[in-house]
Amino acid sequence: MNGVIHWRNRSYSSNKDEVIVAFDFTEEKFSVIPLPESIVQGIAQRPISGCVTRSILCTTMEGHLAITNSKVGISEPLIFWILKDSSKQVWIKKAFSRPSYMNQELCRAIGTLPTGEVIIKPAKNSHQCWLYYYDVTNNTSRKVEFTGLPSQEYYPGVRTGYNVLYHGFVESLYF
C-alpha cells in the first residue's frame, strides 16, 4: 500500500505486545506500529464459541491499513480497526452486521477487495469450496463457488478440505 508492505508480528520482548511491522520500499526502512491494548483485547483475544483465538488479519479498507479478527462467531458482526493516521496512531473502529443467511455458522474473513468487499469463507474446511464477497457499504453479498476441484473420492480414508488463501498484493516489487 503506497510503497509500504505491512504484516502482523508478535513482539518477543513482551508476552502481550502485538505490533504491525512496516517496510517502506522507497526509503528502505522498517518501522513498527504498536497496536493499542484495547484493539488487541477487542480483536485478538475475544472468545469464539468457547475458545480464545489470536487470528489477526492485516488487510486494507478504505485505502488504509486495517486489522480484524479473522474468525467471526455465529451472529457476530465483522469488526475492523482502520489506521486513519499512521503518524498519530489514530485507529477507527467499524462494525458491520452480516446478512442473516451468513449468520448460521462460524466464518473467517480472509481479505478485502479493492471494491471494498470483504472476502469471507466458512471457518471449517469442506470438500466444497465457496466464498462470500460481502459489500459492507450496502450490506449485500454474493456467493462464489469453485467447481471442478477434486472430490473426496481421490483421497479415500483421508479427511480432506480446501484451505482457501487470499493474497491481496497486486503491485510489482520492481521499480
**pLDDT tens across 97-142, in order?**
776 666 566 677 788 888 888 888 776 655 557 788 888 888 888 8
> How far is 15 from 12, CA to CA, in rounded Å?
7
Question: Stretch 150-168: mean pLDDT, rounded?
Answer: 53
Q: Could you tell me if 52 and 45 are in contact, meaning their C-beta atoms sit under 8 angstroms apart? A: yes
| pLDDT at residue number 59 | 82
Q: Could you tell me the pLDDT band of residue 50, with boundaries at 50, 70 and 90?
A: very low
Most confident of 10-24, 33-47, 73-87, 96-110: 73-87
Residue ranges of domains in the chain: 4-154
Which amino acid makes up residue 4? Answer: V
Question: What is the per-residue pLDDT for 28?
Answer: 92
pTM of the model: 0.69
Residue 44 main-chain phi, psi, to 5 deg: -75, -25
pLDDT tens digits along 66-80: 888 766 665 677 788
Own/partner contacts of 134-138, CB < 8 Å, gap of 24 or more, are 134/78, 134/96, 134/98, 134/99, 134/102, 136/78, 136/94, 136/96
